[in-house]
């Protein structure tokens, strides 16, 4: 999935609540064995 510090880009990220899918960026915080902790980066839009 990527190493620590890598930025991941998903063309279409599907939300659990059914909102319209959109592009999202995530950063890999920690990888241990088969477990990866990621954080969503803020949107480039102001809401």
40 neighbors 24 (Cβ within 8 angstroms)? yes
Residue 4 confidence (pLDDT) = 92
Residue 15 confidence (pLDDT) = 86
Judge if pTM exceeds 0.75. Answer: no
Per-position DSSP letters for 1-29, written without gaps between them: ---TT-EEEEEEEPPTT-PPPEEEEEEEE
Could you report the per-residue pLDDT of 1-47, keeping only the tens digit for each? 678 999 998 888 888 998 888 888 999 999 998 899 999 887 666 55
Residue 5 confidence (pLDDT) = 92
Residue 22 confidence (pLDDT) = 86
Residue 23 confidence (pLDDT) = 87
């Amino acid at each position: 999935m990527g190493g620590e510090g890598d930025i991941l880009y998903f063309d279409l990220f599907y939300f659990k609540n059914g909102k319209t899918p959109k592009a999202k960026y995530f950063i890999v915080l920690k990888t241990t064995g088969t477990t990866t902790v990621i954080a969503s980066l803020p949107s480039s839009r102001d809401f």
